[in-house]
Structure 1
Amino acid sequence: MSTAVYLDHAATTPMVPAAVEAMTAELVAVGNPSSLHASGRRARRIVEEGRERIAAALRCRPGDVVLTSGGTEADNLAVKGIAWARRAADPARRLVLTSAVEHHAVLDPVLWLESAGHAEAGLLPVDADGRLDLDALDAVLAARAAEVAVLSVMWANNETGAVQPLAEVVARAAAHGIPVHADAVQALGALPLDVGASGVDALTVSAHKVGGPVGIGALVVRREIDVVPIVHGGGQERDIRSGTLDAPAVAGFAAAVELAVDRQDAHRRRLEALRARLVDGLRVRVPDVVVNGPDDPALRLPGVVHASFPGCEGDSLLMLLDARGIECSTGSACSAGVPQASHVLLAMGRSEDDARSSLRFSLGHPSTEADVEAVLEAIGPCVERARAARV
């Protein structure tokens, strides 16, 4: 068992016992959910019961839940699939809008659509806290609403934790009949999610961010929305996403989502307290530290601390902390190892140096006060060494 202090829960978090139990109970069972015999019907029942449980937790219709291999596939399916369907119905709808701070699972498909000649990418700016500039959105819609195929805006940012003004985005898009997709991978379990009440047309969630297994997620997409599949085959999942369904993973996914939603209020309060202790301690030990993102707790995730340490290289600081048993991140795990500044901080108006000097500490369900104290004990000496290394 590792004794490391793990503060990278926004990348992935340990499976909760309920999910482990639900998944392992099904691993020894045989049966393809698409088969018609008894074993297949049993596997299908596990899948459909899991789908119903996920839908109940997210407050949507079970038929709206399209199971995928995870958040990246769901984001790609939403962006590409809806954009292609809309353009097929109306060739004028070539513009795909998203924010400049999206996860690469959204940004890269949008930019790929443009590079392949399938669409025009429109990246909307954000303010200094990383929240969408609604005036900029208004300007685009006033000039080009009839050209917009789909608008994708994340519920909460994976690096800074900034919560986007999704209700305002949905209201503006609805006035023009534009479908809205939201990547809610980081929001699930941290913020109240009510898909029906939110007004979004499509929403992405992932199991391993809330204590479920890696390799499964879902795109919740209203049945009234046309989606062109990006994977063809057996016609599973409303013929939107073909592929043999992983019944054990669905069982674990459903158990994790139910628990995360049930515990969301208590989880948020506990993480807010730990976060406050961490931020206060960082400011004492590194007085010039800059905490990125909104200060208002209502406008950010409860367990994310994204901080810039002037005079440091984030990668060097990360490795110095790692050597002391503190595990954190320089940003999105999907971009780890890529020698470039955070696109999120650059979009927020930060300099290249600021963007490269940043770390993300993300708290999760196993996080404790002792974890926070370990970071605070290590951060001062590690910052000093990181700064000395740049001289």
Structure 2
Amino acid sequence: MPNIYFDHASTTPLHPDVLAVMVDIYQGPPGNPSSTHSFGRTAKRHLTQARDRIARIVGCHPSELMFTSGGTESDNTALRGTLDALRHAGKRHIITSSAEHHAVLHMANRLEEEGYEVTLLEPDEDGIISPGKVRGALREDTAIISLMYVNNEVGTIQPIEEIGAAAKEAGVLFHVDGVQALGSIHLNLSELPVDLMSFTAHKINGPQGIGALYIGKSVPFQPQILGGSQESKRRAGTENAAAAAGFAKAVELANEHFEQKGRHMSLLRETFIQGLEAELGSSAIAINGHKERTLPHIINISLLGADTETLLMNLDMEGIAASSGSACTSGSLERSHVLKAMSLPPERLNSAVRFSFGLGNTLEEIEYAVKKIATILNRIRIKV
């Protein structure tokens, strides 16, 4: 039985070239980037070069990139770090959406418990947050807007430029969760109307456990991890130079193969959808998310007449890894908060599965999966 991995939006396989870079550093001499001797200077050089290489591709100054442990820390720190810095300015209002990653939503809940006011905007049925809704939610005491560039569950791309322009007009900070955008959308942070952006390496075939937060030069920010002067005094703790170098290599590879990857992902997507329609009929499936403003490698699809949990279990037994796009709680699958926010009808909400493609996936795997999905559905489909 084959093992087919269609969950790249969750995490991606480590690219061999990334592993090679990291192993070379791990097998080299030890060194703390903060030490002044030659061993420390070597580690510092690895770290500095990694920061420079990533900054060059995302279009910002190296000093504006702070390494973190990943996307969750970057999201948490973007909100907490700026709000702490603005504490005495009377800015107590936050705008985000009900379709965000839990790294933002759970932090927003915590901040609300501490006395901040949070406005949760609802997306439309395609997952889009309209700039008009953002403008309508702005207040005199709004401190920050936090929205995803690309939704991790449905792949919808938000109108970041328009929302950022509205934020700039109002003098409000704009944080963007760019975790799913990195490597799939060309970024130029020096031109985007964005103040902070979160990244992580493991979504682009880099190592788990390292990410970055872009903090614009003029953005007020208060460190959240104390104890040392690392990361320009913004995040204490010994940096992982090997992981940073691996992150940089992954960013470079994603940039180098950007067009080729886009074409291949589009082909996989088209083949997958057409195959399902041919096997099941177009009325038996529904694509969730925007049809055009989307990343091709993320497909959230409702396989009508079936149940998400049953589908995932049967796919797993056939060697196909997919996702509901949400976490398990106490052993039972929760329905996607993103699809709920999009106000999808129950028959779509309860039968939705996210397939996400990436490095190593082939047309042969797509064709095999389509046949297996059709077989599974014919076996388990709920009869009305």
Evaluate the alpha carbon distance shift between residue 200 and residue 67 of structure 1 in structure 2; reply closer, same or farther with a 3 A threshold.
same
CA offset at residue 80 of structure 1? 1.4
CA offset at residue 78 of structure 1? 0.4
- Considering only aligned residues, what root-mean-square deviation do their CA atoms show, in Å? 1.7
More displaced, 336-345 or 268-277? 336-345
Is it true that 1:269 corresponds to 2:272 in the alignment?
Answer: no
CA offset at residue 132 of structure 1? 0.4
Give the SS at the match of 2:24.
helix
Give the SS at the match of 2:231.
coil
Within 5 Å, give how 1:1-391 maps onto structure 2: 3-28=2-27, 29-88=29-88, 90-91=89-90, 93-117=91-115, 119-141=116-138, 144=139, 146-287=140-281, 288-296=284-292, 299-332=293-326, 339-388=333-382
Amino acid at match of 2:239: L
CA deviation profile, 1:322-344 (whole Å, cap 9, x unmatched):
10111111114688966321111
Do 2:55 and 2:65's aligned partners in 1 also have CA atoms closer than 8 Å? yes
CA deviation profile, 1:188-235 (whole Å, cap 9, x unmatched):
111111111112111111101101100000001112112122221113
CA deviation profile, 1:35-54 (whole Å, cap 9, x unmatched):
11111111011000000001
CA deviation profile, 1:36-82 (whole Å, cap 9, x unmatched):
11111110110000000010111110000100000110010001111
Give the SS at the match of 1:199.
coil
Give the Cα separation in 1 of the matches to 2:330 and 2:104.
Answer: 17
CA offset at residue 352 of structure 1? 4.2
CA offset at residue 284 of structure 1? 2.3
Give the Cα separation in 2 of the matches to 1:63 and 1:199.
Answer: 18
Do 1:158 and 1:332's aligned partners in 2 also have CA atoms closer than 8 Å? no
CA offset at residue 3 of structure 1? 3.8
Evaluate the alpha carbon distance shift between residue 334 and residue 252 of structure 1 in structure 2; reply closer, same or farther with a 3 A threshold.
farther
Amino acid at match of 1:274: L
CA deviation profile, 1:255-307 (whole Å, cap 9, x unmatched):
001111121122111101110111111222233111111111xx101101100
Give the Cα separation in 2 of the matches to 1:69 and 1:106.
Answer: 16
Give the SS at the match of 1:56.
helix
Identity in percent: 39
CA offset at residue 359 of structure 1? 0.4
Give the Cα separation in 1 of the matches to 2:275 and 2:232.
Answer: 51
More displaced, 121-130 or 329-338? 329-338
Do 2:328 and 2:334's aligned partners in 1 also have CA atoms closer than 8 Å? no
More displaced, 327-336 or 39-48? 327-336
Evaluate the alpha carbon distance shift between residue 217 and residue 109 of structure 1 in structure 2; reply closer, same or farther with a 3 A threshold.
same
CA offset at residue 362 of structure 1? 0.2
Amino acid at match of 1:173: A
Amino acid at match of 2:371: E
Give the Cα separation in 2 of the matches to 1:127 and 1:325.
Answer: 34
Give the Cα separation in 2 of the matches to 1:336 and 1:32.
Answer: 41
Do 2:327 and 2:333's aligned partners in 1 also have CA atoms closer than 8 Å? no
Evaluate the alpha carbon distance shift between residue 198 and residue 333 of structure 1 in structure 2; reply closer, same or farther with a 3 A threshold.
farther
Do 2:198 and 2:212's aligned partners in 1 also have CA atoms closer than 8 Å? yes
Ranges in structure 2 where 5+ consecutive residues have no aligned partner? none
CA deviation profile, 1:228-249 (whole Å, cap 9, x unmatched):
2222111311222111100110
TM-score by length of 2: 0.95
Give the SS at the match of 2:287.
strand
Amino acid at match of 2:19: V
Give the Cα separation in 2 of the matches to 1:314 and 1:385.
Answer: 14
Give the SS at the match of 2:225.
coil
CA deviation profile, 1:121-166 (whole Å, cap 9, x unmatched):
111121110010222212112xx1x211110111100000000000
TM-score by length of 1: 0.94
Aligned length: 381
Amino acid at match of 1:182: V
More displaced, 245-254 or 260-269? 260-269
